[in-house]
Amino acid sequence: MGIVKRLPEQLIDQIAAGEVIERPASVVKELVENALDAGATDIIVEVARGGREMIRVADDGSGMGQEDLFMALERHATSKLSDAQGLSRIATMGFRGEALPSIASVSVFSLASALAHGDGFRVAARGGVMTESGPVSRPKGTEATVGRLFFNLPARRKFLKSEEREFAHIKELIQRLAVTHPSIAFRLIHNERTALSFAAATSVADRAAEVWKAGRDETTLVEETAGHTAGTLLLGSPYRSFAAPATVTVNRRIVSDRRVNAVIYRVIRESVGGDHRPVYALSISLPPEEVDVNVHPAKSEVRFRDESAVFALIEALFRKGLAALRTGERSPELFPGAPTSPAHAALPRIAPSARPTGTELFSPPLPLTGVADTTPASFSPAIRITGYRVLGTLFDTYIAVEMGDALYLIDQHASHERIVYTRLREAMEKKSGLTQLTLLAEPVHLSPVEMAVWREHREMFADIGLTLEELDDETLVIRGVPALSLDPSWPSLVQDLLADIREQGFSSAWDEKFLSIAADRACKRAVRAGRSLAPEEIERLIADINASEVLTCPHGRPFFFVVSKRDIERGIGR
C-alpha cells in the first residue's frame, strides 16, 4: 500500500480554515464582506469575549433560500464566480467559496436567512458536521452566528490573544469598513454593550470625521486620476494622533499590501520626517482586469498589472495631501484674535488645543500655513518666515528668530542639510547633473533574475545617469555614473536597486537609495553646528528655508521648533 493518502474531508476543511481564519477579526471580515456583497445597508456585529465565545453578524441584504443555505456550507461553492474568465474580472468581496465552510469547520455555526420578511430557513453545524436545519421566521436578510471559535483546535485557540486584544482587532476592522463604506450603517456590540454605532453618511469625509473624531480643519481630501486608475485620499494631520486605523482599499476591498505601505511610508518620511504615522483612508479604483485579488486566501494582498502607474498615483496623492495640510487655510475659530492683515496672513501659529507643554515642547512642530501649489509634481514653499527679527544665535547652533507672538529656534545644521539635499535631488530629477565616465569599468555580477530585471528597466538606469553595458548573461559593466559628486559603491548600489525593483515592482526604488546617499553627502557639506554664522549667512539661510519644501532634515529630524509667547508667560507664571 502506498504511503501517500488522501486527507479526510474534515481535516481538509480545518487546514483551509487555518489559511482563511487567523483570529476572530478574520471571521468578522469574511461575514461582513458577504453582507456587503448581498447589498446590505445596515450591518450589526455582535461579539462576546472578544469574539472567542460568540460572533454574530446580521444584515438586511438580499438573503438566501433553503437550497442556497445548504450549498453555502459546501467548499468552493459560490454565487459570485462561474467561469475562468470571471476570475480576471472580480468585482465582489468574497468569491472563493471557502469562508463559510472553513468557519463552520472550526466552530459551532449557524446560518439563517430569508428572501422575504417572515419566510426564512436556518442551518446549523458543529465542527463542519451538519446538526440541524429547518424553517424560521425572520426579517429579510442573513444572520450568521459563530460560537466557540477553534473549539476543536485547542492548540490554535491557545494562540489567541486576550479578550481585549482580540476585540481591538475587531473594532479596528469595523472602523476601517465604516470609512470604506460610508453609505452603510454599522453597529458593533461587545459583551451586550454598544461599542461603535455609525449611521449612514453621505460621504467618506463625513464618516471619517465621525470615526476619527477629527475636525474638518484636521483633514484634507485630495483626488488624482491617471488613465483608467483613480485615487482618493482622505488624510489626517500627521501632527495629531487619531484613535483610528489607517485604511487602504482597492476597488473598495480592504488590503494590507507591504509594497503599497512602503510607498506611503517613504513619502511620509520624506515630507514629514520622524516616526509620524498619520491616519488616512486611501481608495484606489481601477478596472477589475487590471488587478489580481486572487493572491492570498484571506484576500488581503493584491497585484497590479501596471504597478509603476499605481504606485506613482499613490505617491502623488500623499504628496498632494501633505502639502494641502501643511499650507491649508487657517481656521479662524482656532485662532481667536489672530492678525488677519496680509503681512501676517502666512505667519505660522499653533492651535491652542495642540500647544506643547513641558517636555512636549520639543515635539515636531505643527504644520505651518503659507501659499503653495499642491500639484504633486512640484511644491511651492512650505514655510514663510516674514516680518521677523533675528535675535542672534544660541551656542553657535541655533538661530533665534522673533516672528509675531512666537520665538523660532532654527537648527542651522539641520536646515542647511535639507537645502543641500534638495538641490542634489533636483539635479537628479531634472537630469541636470549628466553622466561622468568612470576611469575603470566596474563589473556587476548578477543572477539570471536580476539580469532579466535590468533588461526590463534599463531605461530607468539611463535616466538617472547610470551607463551600463551588458558584457554577458551574468555581467554588466559600469561605464558612467551620475555626476553628482556621490561616491558610493556603484556595483553594490546597482544590485540593491535591482533587488528593490524585483521586490517592490516600481521604478522609484532608485529614490530610496539616492535619497540615502544624498542625505549622507548633504551631512558632509552642510553648515556644521558650532560654527558662527555671519548676519549675511543667516539672512541667506532664512531665504533658503523659505524656499524649502518640507520641515525636516533628510533624516526626518525637525530643523526648528516654536515657543509661543503664551508658553513663555505660562512658564514664568505671568
Tell which wins on pLDDT, 249 or 457: 249
Do residues 451 and 569 both lie within one domain?
A: yes
Percent with pLDDT over 90 in the chain: 25
CB-based burial of residue 407 (10 Å sphere; 0-12 exposed, 13-18 middle, 19+ buried)?
A: middle
Residue 474 has pLDDT above 60, yes or no: yes
* pLDDT tens column, 498-530: 776 666 555 444 555 555 554 554 555 556 556
Q: Is residue 356 part of a domain?
A: no
End-to-end CA separation in angstroms for the chain: 92
Domain end, chosen from 273, 307, 327, is at 327
Q: Say how many domains are in the chain.
A: 3
CB 198 within 8 A of CB 181: no
Tell which wins on pLDDT, 361 or 108: 108
Do residues 47 and 193 both lie within one domain?
A: yes
Do residues 382 and 527 both lie within one domain?
A: yes
Q: Is residue 352 part of a domain?
A: no
Do residues 411 and 510 both lie within one domain?
A: yes
CATH number reported for the structural domain that contains residue 438 in this entry: 3.30.1540.20
The answer to whether the Cα torsion of 510, 516, 521, 527 is positive or negative is positive
- Average pLDDT (263-282) is 79
Beta bridge partners of 124: 110, 132
Q: Which three cell numbers stand for residue 63?
A: 438573503
Do residues 497 and 545 both lie within one domain?
A: yes
Residue 112 main-chain phi, psi, to 5 deg: -125, 140
Largest CA distance in the chain: 92
Do residues 47 and 155 both lie within one domain?
A: yes
Do residues 180 and 234 both lie within one domain?
A: no
Beta bridge partners of 47: 55, 190
Whole-number Cα distances in Å, 12 to 50, 103, 328? 27, 13, 56
Percent with pLDDT over 70 in the chain: 71
Give the pLDDT of residue 197. 96
Q: Is residue 296 part of a domain?
A: yes
What whole-number distance in Å separates Cα of residue 131 and Cα of residue 148?
16
Domain end, chosen from 303, 327, 351, is at 327
Residue 346 has pLDDT above 70, yes or no: no
Do residues 494 and 572 both lie within one domain?
A: yes
* pLDDT tens column, 542-570: 887 777 766 677 666 777 788 888 888 88
Do residues 185 and 220 both lie within one domain?
A: no
- Backbone torsion region of residue 554, taken as left when φ is above 0, otherwise alpha when ψ lies between -120 and 50, otherwise beta: alpha
**Domain limits at 248?**
204-327
- Average pLDDT (202-215) is 88
Domain end, chosen from 166, 198, 230, is at 198
What whole-number distance in Å separates Cα of residue 421 and Cα of residue 515?
8
Q: Which one-letter DSSP state was computed for residue 294?
A: T
Residue 292 has pLDDT above 90, yes or no: no
CATH number reported for the structural domain that contains residue 258 in this entry: 3.30.230.10
Q: Which three cell numbers stand for residue 500?
A: 528593490
At residue 358 the predicted structure's pLDDT band, cuts being 50, 70 and 90, is very low
* pLDDT tens column, 78-111: 555 444 454 445 555 554 457 888 899 899 999 9
Q: Is residue 232 part of a domain?
A: yes
CB 231 within 8 A of CB 285: yes
Do residues 280 and 224 both lie within one domain?
A: yes
Do residues 457 and 560 both lie within one domain?
A: yes
Do residues 307 and 407 both lie within one domain?
A: no
At residue 377 the predicted structure's pLDDT band, cuts being 50, 70 and 90, is very low
* pLDDT tens column, 119-138: 899 999 999 889 999 999 99
Specify the 3-state DSSP secondary structure of 307: helix
Residue 330 has pLDDT above 70, yes or no: no
Q: Is residue 332 part of a domain?
A: no
Q: Is residue 346 part of a domain?
A: no
